[in-house]
Amino acid sequence: MTNNKLISIFIVTLSLFFLGCVEEKPVATPAPTATLTATPTAAIASPTVVPTTQMPTPVPTQIREQKLYTSDVDELYGFRKVTVFNGSAPYSNYTLTINEGDTVKWRSVSVDNYVLTIVSQEGLWNNSSSRLRHELSYFNYTFDKPGEYEVYIKEYPRETHQKIVVNP
């Protein structure tokens, strides 16, 4: 039993000896450092106070998503109805109210494939580009300026004209 104690004490001592030698680093001579000495001054300077101005908190601007309105057109009813993706179209009495930057798409729903030409009384576009030649053909226009605009079907001028009110 004493042999076991002696062996265990010997092992512990030996392990402590080797553990102390593992991370040994050579000792270097410390370099001398300069010491600062305080010199008295004639007057103690007081801190300078800088006035601050309050900045107004910026108000986040609403970014409005532009919408695409689809106006169905045929030879019997003229400008039949208006729909908009993800919303409701403010369309009554052939008047569509939209915002600046919105696009209107006129789509022919003529079953007999009559040619329909959408004309702007204000001359906003070339009439040859707004010719709807067959069913489901379409013409787009983006309204960039606020105002009131009127469009009609060239082949059926007696049909009720469509009025478009563009808000800023």
> Per-residue pLDDT averaged across 149-166, rounded?
93
In the predicted model, is pLDDT for residue 100 greater than 60? yes
- pLDDT-based confidence at 6, cuts 50/70/90? confident
Domain positions in the chain: 68-167
Core vs surface per residue 153-163: b (16+ CB within 10 A) or e: beebeebebbb
Q: What is the CATH topology of the domain spanning 68-167?
A: Immunoglobulin-like (2.60.40)
Nearest Cα residue to 71 out of 107, 96, 37: 107
Give the pLDDT mean for 98-114.
92
Return the top range by mean pLDDT from 28-42, 114-128, 141-155.
141-155
* Residue bearing the bigger pLDDT, 24 or 152: 152
Give the pair of three-digit tokens for residue 64: 């409005």
Question: Quick one: pLDDT at residue 1?
Answer: 63
CB burial of residue 132 (10 Å; 0-12, 13-18, 19+): buried
Under the banding of pLDDT at 50, 70 and 90, the label for residue 164 is very high
Question: Is pLDDT of 78 > 60?
Answer: yes
